[in-house]
Amino acid sequence: MREDPIFALIHGQQHDPFAILGPHILTTESETVVVVRAFLPMAESVTLQPTTSEVLPRPMTRLHPDGVFEALFSGQTVVFPYQLEVVDRNGQCVTIDDPYRFPSTLSEFDLYLMGEGTHYHQHEKFGAHQISLDGVAGVVFVVWAPNARRVSVVGDFNQWDGRVHVMRHHPSNGIWELFLPGVTVGAHYKYEILAQDGELLALKADPYAFAFEPEIPRTASVVADLTYAWHDQEWMATRARRHTLSAPLAIYELHLGSWQRVPEEGNRFLTYRELAHALVPYLQELGYTHVELLPVMEHPFYGSWGYQVIGYFAPTRRYGMPTDFMYFVDYLHQHGLGVILDWVPAHFPRDPHGLVYFDGTHLYEHADPRQGAHREWGTLIFNYGRTEVANFLINNAVFWLERYHLDGLRIDAVASMLYLDYAREPGDWIPNRYGGNENLEAVAFIKRLNEVVYQYHPDVLTIAEESTSWSMVSRPTYVGGLGFGLKWNMGWMHDLLEYMHKDPVHRKFHHTNLTFGMLYAWTEHFVLPLSHDEVVYGKGSLHRKMPGDDWRKFANLRLFFAFMYGHPGKKLLFMGGEFGQTSEWDHERSLDWHLLEAGPYHRGLQRLVRDLNRLYREQPSLRERDDDPGGFQWIDCHDADQSVVSFERRAKNEDDRIVMVCNFTAVPRHEYRVGAPTAGYWAELMNTDAGVYGGSNLGNDGGVEAQAEPTQGQLYSLVLTLPPLAALMLQCHSSV
């Protein structure tokens, strides 16, 4: 060997270790020999032990004091299998397999699809995977770093020395790969990357790691086994009908770390398995159909709630192992509950061990901060126009749906992806090629994402948190839409929260806040969200947003929730809202469960939510025609002076109807006449002022008979007593 390759090897500058290390066939004019070289800095001596009887063991010669060894086998014409018997400087002897004698695990087809950006199961190759090569067990590591001079796997198994396990480079794709014999599940590892300019970067976590270390700061990747025996076959077989537009979708939004803790054990988190067993009876009692989890992907900064992701393929270790999270999903499925996951493709944090400046260049993010930085969040924006980056994200979505059996993805901050000038001042953004503010690359990515997800899993949901008037967000891409299944109705949420915050005496001046949403209710497939974003950063809890004393606050909440369930659209409520959490959400502690014992109001509100979910599931008229304007009709939306609205919901069976009347003032309305579509006895399915909900128990003694007096465009009418700050839900039990 020449001196230069040895120098590069021992100083961590060698980018092609397979050209030097491992077995090589050399041919001279006189003979053919096999030479084997190894770099073992901690070794005192090394003996090469062939695993075939045809070749005898041989001590290796030290070529350099820093641990470069060589053995020469004259007369050998083929490479043979072998192991290395290593004696370290403490006299300890261990036998190892040489990683540089094994072939690549990537096929030409893999490399082709990766380069094309259509390898949507790339996680099966990238990351750290237990495999067996030539009968030897170990782990193969694969990472994308096209602009690196050198990439090494470092970890527990090599004393975190980046010179020891330099990876094989596939220059056409920028992929680095290495099989390490003897590495097992549980090993901690990272990638040491040398940039082209010679800069040694901060050790990088594996972008495809399946698990992370449980200890703070949670930056080391961990080799994990995702083998799990699922028992949710019945759920998976029936999931498609649960996700039709006519099916009930009542979502309980949840942050795993603060729903419930164990204060007597140092305020520790519940584990995934403990959460599963605590959540199932609670959600079943309240009648929810799905739970939506704030992001569970690994995030070192707990205060980000999961929205600053480092480990896109790893559930956070705060609550257990990856298979524990699988158990969580499986257990909920077995008990009839779906699991939706918040997913964050809009941005990623600047943590030096993460994706930022990954190979010494702006690989995952744009180089220009006018395109690549979210200044208000302090995070970076993915370069959606880069084929490999788009493939990384789409593959990640497919991974969670397949490996963890998730039922849907709620895509966070879609508006920030769609607009180049999102949260930017004039001159601080770069227009697209047509001079507009639309991020054309992000639009193409979003469309492709939804096409791929629904191609592989047509029975799941993709849900957009999109806060602007971008058209056709939840329409198929083949008609020009973005392809999402559902969209959060942010306009409805903001209008209603603003309206409910007003003192009832002033609501008549803001009546259009109640009614405006019906002008666009069928432009998208909407979810009506009362989410975590509305109860943080000084906004106060839903309870505190309501005006008046405690009685009025709870009456307003009951009315608000009933109006929400009567309004077209799927339903979402953040945890704590169902029982009137009084304090703002704090991710560092449990919800205030003790409030349920603090009087009738909190428990009454919780009971109301339970009954609303029951009616929502049982009554086709409340959800069967959410996507059909014929499923809703105003009876009277003009009584602004009294702040009363009335409307009708219809099922596909036109005889199946519900009438809702909502009084948004604290004044009882006696002998209030409302139009009715049919004759007969109209029973009160729900009265939010009922005593069991904490109300004053004012109502109509269970129902009223329709009168043959046309009113408000209806052939019949109902003369009702409207309780203060309350909603009535009525259904005709007989007609003529």
Fold matches, 108-222 and 248-461+552-620:
no
User: Does residue 187 register a pLDDT over 50?
Assistant: yes
- At 594-650, the pLDDT tens digits run 999 988 999 999 999 999 999 999 999 999 999 999 999 999 999 999 999 999 999
Q: Is the pLDDT of residue 2 over 60?
A: no
Confidence of residue 75 (pLDDT cuts 50, 70, 90): confident
- State the Cα–Cα distance between residues 271 and 257, nearest whole angstrom: 9
pLDDT exceeds 60 at position 653: yes
Instruction: Let me know how long the chain is.
Output: 736
- 192, pLDDT greater than 80: yes
What residue ranges do the domains of the chain occupy?
Answer: 3-98, 108-222, 248-461+552-620, 625-732
Architecture of domain 108-222: Sandwich (2.60)
DSSP one-letter string for 627-673: T-GGGEEEEEEEETTTTEEEEEEE-SSTT-EEEEEEE-SSS-EEEEE
**CA distance linking residue 203 with residue 211, whole number of Å:** 16
pLDDT in tens, 441-466: 999 999 999 999 999 999 999 999 99
Summarize pLDDT for 694-717 with one digit per residue, the tens.
999 999 999 999 999 999 999 999
Residue numbers annotated as active site: 412, 465
pLDDT tens readout for residues 288-308: 999 999 999 999 999 999 999
Can you identify the CATH homologous superfamily of domain 3-98? Immunoglobulins (2.60.40.10)
Q: Give whole-number Cα distances, 686 to 223, 398, 523, 568, 727, in Å.
A: 54, 42, 29, 18, 8
Q: Label the pairing between strands 669-676 and 68-74.
A: unpaired
pLDDT in tens, 346-371: 999 999 999 999 999 999 999 999 99
Assign 578 a pLDDT band (cuts: 50, 70, 90).
very high
Q: What are the residues whose beta carbons fall under 8 Å from the beta carbon of 617, sequence distance 6 or more?
A: 248, 250, 287, 289
The residues near 436 (Cβ < 8 Å, ≥ 6 apart) are none
Amino acid at 475: R
Burial code of 461-478, b = ≥16 C-beta within 10 A, e = fewer?
A: bbbbbbbeebebbbbbbe
- Rounded Cα distance between 279 and 259, Å, is 9
pLDDT at residue 103, as a whole number: 93
**According to the 3-state scheme, what is the secondary structure of 179-241?**
EEECCCCCCEEEEEEEECCCCECCCECCCCCCEECCCCCCCCEECCCCCCCCCCHHHHHHHHH
pLDDT of 27 > 90? The answer is: no
Domain 248-461+552-620 sits in CATH 3.20.20.80: yes
Q: pTM for this one?
A: 0.95
391 has a pLDDT exceeding 90: yes
Summarised one tens digit per residue, pLDDT across range 405-415 is 999 999 999 99
288: which DSSP letter?
-
Beta bridge partners of 129: 140
Q: Is the pLDDT of residue 73 over 90?
A: yes
pLDDT above 70 (res 574)? yes
Cβ atoms 256, 325 nearer than 8 A: no
- Nearest Cα residue to 195 out of 306, 358, 354, 328: 358
Mean pLDDT of 579-584: 97
User: Predicted confidence band at 3 (pLDDT cuts at 50, 70, 90)?
Assistant: low
Residue 403 has pLDDT above 50, yes or no: yes
Mean pLDDT of the chain: 95
In CATH terms, the superfamily for domain 625-732 is Golgi alpha-mannosidase II (2.60.40.1180)
d(C-alpha 80, C-alpha 110), whole Å: 27
- The reported pLDDT for the residue numbered 736 is 42
Q: Which amino acid is at 559?
A: L
Tell me the per-residue pLDDT of 226-271, one tens digit each, with 9 for 90 and over: 999 999 999 999 999 999 999 999 999 999 999 999 999 999 999 9
- Give the 3-state secondary structure of residue 15: coil
